[in-house]
């Protein structure tokens, strides 16, 4: 990360009341529109994070695919701010749920902005989940991934990868996807192969 200046805690650079509020700014109100990418090459991870957050929002926070995996939590299962700056994130790795421990020191640039992903609403869940995921994969010098695999790590839901160009029944595929979104048992991300300049 060539623009890295320092590692800072959000409490050092933001309004403490905005971060704290007893929770990670009411984590049950997360949504995928908050996710902002910066200089880390983890667009597939953040896409998966946004899709899972939207799913949580669309189920009225009954299915906690994202917020239910951040600890410490209050008695209702909502992640809460930890003044000590330590968090445990539950992720599905090698066939089992694992606990990934992180601190809340995140990279800042020489331009005094985050170089990592963040919530444009000022919540901590994006920073925390990105850092935990990247800790599993070698750090912020991440070279990219596949969003179906990323969803699997974040949610434990088994991925199905479909190459649309090689699908004989595109209408049938569309019907299957539409049905899965209606019943809320389907998360969808879309990616492309390398696209030639011409």
As a whole number of angstroms, the distance between CA 118 and CA 35 comes to 6
Domain boundaries, the chain: 4-158
The predicted model scores a pTM of 0.84
As a whole number of angstroms, the distance between CA 191 and CA 193 comes to 7
Walk along the chain (198 residues) and give the pLDDT tens digit of each residue: 566 778 888 877 775 544 444 444 445 478 888 888 888 878 889 899 999 998 888 877 778 888 889 999 888 888 888 889 999 999 999 999 999 999 999 988 887 778 888 888 888 889 999 999 999 998 888 888 888 889 999 999 888 888 888 888 989 888 888 888 888 887 877 776 677 777
For the stretch 164-197, what's the b/e string if a residue is b when 16 or more beta carbons lie within 10 angstroms of its beta carbon?
Answer: eeeeeeeeeeeeeeeeeeeeeeebebeeeeeeee
As a whole number of angstroms, the distance between CA 146 and CA 118 comes to 20
E strands within the chain?
A: 4-8, 35-36, 70-71, 86-93, 96-103, 106-109, 118-119
The residue among 103, 153, 150, 145 whose CA lies nearest residue 124 is 103
């Amino acid at each position: 990360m060539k623009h890295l200046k320092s590692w800072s805690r959000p409490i050092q650079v933001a309004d403490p009341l905005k971060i704290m509020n007893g929770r990670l700014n009411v984590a049950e109100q997360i949504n995928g529109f908050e996710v902002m990418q910066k200089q880390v090459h983890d667009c597939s991870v953040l896409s998966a994070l946004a899709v899972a957050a939207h799913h949580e929002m669309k189920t009225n926070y009954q299915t906690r695919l994202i917020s239910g995996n951040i600890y410490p939590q209050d008695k209702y299962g909502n992640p809460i701010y930890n003044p000590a700056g330590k968090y445990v994130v539950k992720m599905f790795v090698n066939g089992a749920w694992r606990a990934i421990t992180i601190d809340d020191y995140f990279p800042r640039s020489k331009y005094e902005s985050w170089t990592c992903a963040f919530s444009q609403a000022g919540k901590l869940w994006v920073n925390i989940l990105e850092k935990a995921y990247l800790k599993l994969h070698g750090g912020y010098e991440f070279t990219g991934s596949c969003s179906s695999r990323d969803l699997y790590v974040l949610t434990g839901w088994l991925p199905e990868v479909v190459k649309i160009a090689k699908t004989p029944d595109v209408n049938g595929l569309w019907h299957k996807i539409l049905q899965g979104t209606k019943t809320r048992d389907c998360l969808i991300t879309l990616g492309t192969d390398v696209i030639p300049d011409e």
